[in-house]
Amino acid sequence: MGVRHSSTTVPTAAARARSVLATAWSCAVTTEIGRDELVGAHSVTDDGRLRLRPPEDSALAAALICAPHGEPSTLVEFADVAPVPLRDRIRARLWLSGSLAYDDEHLVFEPTCAVLHDSNGEREGIELDELALTMPDPLAEAESRLLTHLADAHPDAVEQLTRLISPDSLQGVVRVRPLALDRHGISLRLERARSQADVRLPFHQAVEDVSQVTECMHALLARARLSTARRGRPVGG
């Protein structure tokens, strides 16, 4: 399949949310009774609903028993964690509010509200119909492997990518690390002594699967080699 041209350079909030749901290994679930930290105990249906498998002695089980109508109000929180070690690895938090109910041997969480909290403090509500119809980013499952490999095996490539960043933005930067990767581009974290900033480098075209990432990265690196913005480049990370 050929690469389709994309008119956007960032994923939608719904796409980011579905990617978080697809890749997160843990979540925090809060009801009137208490809070449970679930690890490896949730799955996501095709339409975005959550199936939870909490321990029998968890607060969730008690909440279902105590709720007036058997469907307690519930808040589920997921953290989007960067795979590469950074000062602050939380890239975003996804908050889902709704209710719980039993379905066979599982708890099913029915969301009524979805909000994505960015690391920069911005909050964006997500329409539930859009969340249900949106698929995770095609690179979501491979992102951790790809970014870790880039950081560990190709620090020279990360350094080359900084040539695409304006020299003013690189003032005082002591380390650059790959932060995020999706079908529309790659983001880098610029670390200074007491602060940090993120910069996004869009691909020339959106990718459809992992096999097309190499071509897009090579295109970015080719642009970097031709760039004349070389003053103030930080050391590779």
Do 151 and 189 lie in one domain? The reply is yes
- Answer for the pair 200, 181: CB distance below 8 angstroms, yes or no: no
Top mean-pLDDT range of 33-37, 65-69, 87-91: 87-91
pTM of the model: 0.88
pLDDT at residue 107 is higher than 90: no
| pLDDT classification of 7: cutoffs 50, 70, 90 | very low
The CATH number given to whatever domain includes residue 210 is 3.20.180.10
Do 127 and 147 lie in one domain? The reply is no
Mean pLDDT of 37-59: 87
Its domain, for residue 43, covers 13-133
Do 95 and 169 lie in one domain? The reply is no
CA–CA distances in Å: residue 112 to residues 18, 30, 75, 169 = 15, 15, 10, 40
Do 43 and 79 lie in one domain? The reply is yes
| pLDDT classification of 174: cutoffs 50, 70, 90 | very high
Average pLDDT, the chain: 89
- pLDDT on residue 227: 84
Residue the block writes with tokens 């959550």? 50
Please, is 217 exposed, middle or buried when counting C-beta atoms within 10 Å of its C-beta (0-12, 13-18, 19+)?
buried
Do 128 and 24 lie in one domain? The reply is yes
- pLDDT on residue 1: 31
Mean pLDDT of 158-180: 95
Count structural domains, the chain.
Answer: 2
What 8-state DSSP symbol labels residue 237? Answer: -
Do 177 and 211 lie in one domain? The reply is yes
Do 57 and 164 lie in one domain? The reply is no
- Listing DSSP states for 48-86 in one string gives S-EEE---TTSHHHHHHHHSTTS--EEEEEEEEE-SS--
Residue 196 domain-assigned?
yes
Do 99 and 144 lie in one domain? The reply is no
Top mean-pLDDT range of 1-10, 52-61, 208-217: 208-217
The CATH number given to whatever domain includes residue 77 is 2.30.110.10
CA–CA distances in Å: residue 180 to residues 94, 150, 164, 199 = 16, 11, 17, 10
| pLDDT classification of 145: cutoffs 50, 70, 90 | very high
| pLDDT classification of 69: cutoffs 50, 70, 90 | low
CA angle 121, 127, 131 (to 5 degrees): 95
Residue 226 domain-assigned?
yes
Question: When comparing pLDDT for 54 and 207, which is higher?
Answer: 207
Residue 99 domain-assigned?
yes
Do 106 and 181 lie in one domain? The reply is no
pLDDT at residue 146 is higher than 90: yes
Asked which of 30-44, 97-111, 147-161 is least confident by mean pLDDT, the reply is: 97-111
Residue 5 domain-assigned?
no
Of 87, 108, 133, the position where a domain reaches its end is 133
- Answer for the pair 78, 27: CB distance below 8 angstroms, yes or no: yes
Residue 190 domain-assigned?
yes
Share of the chain above pLDDT 70, in %: 91
| pLDDT classification of 229: cutoffs 50, 70, 90 | very low
Of 88, 103, 133, the position where a domain reaches its end is 133
- pLDDT on residue 4: 36
For residue 31, give the amino acid letter. T
Of 116, 133, 150, the position where a domain reaches its end is 133
Residue 203 domain-assigned?
yes
pLDDT at residue 64 is higher than 80: no
Do 146 and 203 lie in one domain? The reply is yes
Residue 6 domain-assigned?
no
| pLDDT classification of 48: cutoffs 50, 70, 90 | confident
- pLDDT on residue 181: 98
Do 153 and 193 lie in one domain? The reply is yes
Share of the chain above pLDDT 90, in %: 72
- pLDDT on residue 121: 87
CA torsion sign for 28, 86, 115, 12 is negative
Do 128 and 144 lie in one domain? The reply is no
Residue 237 domain-assigned?
no
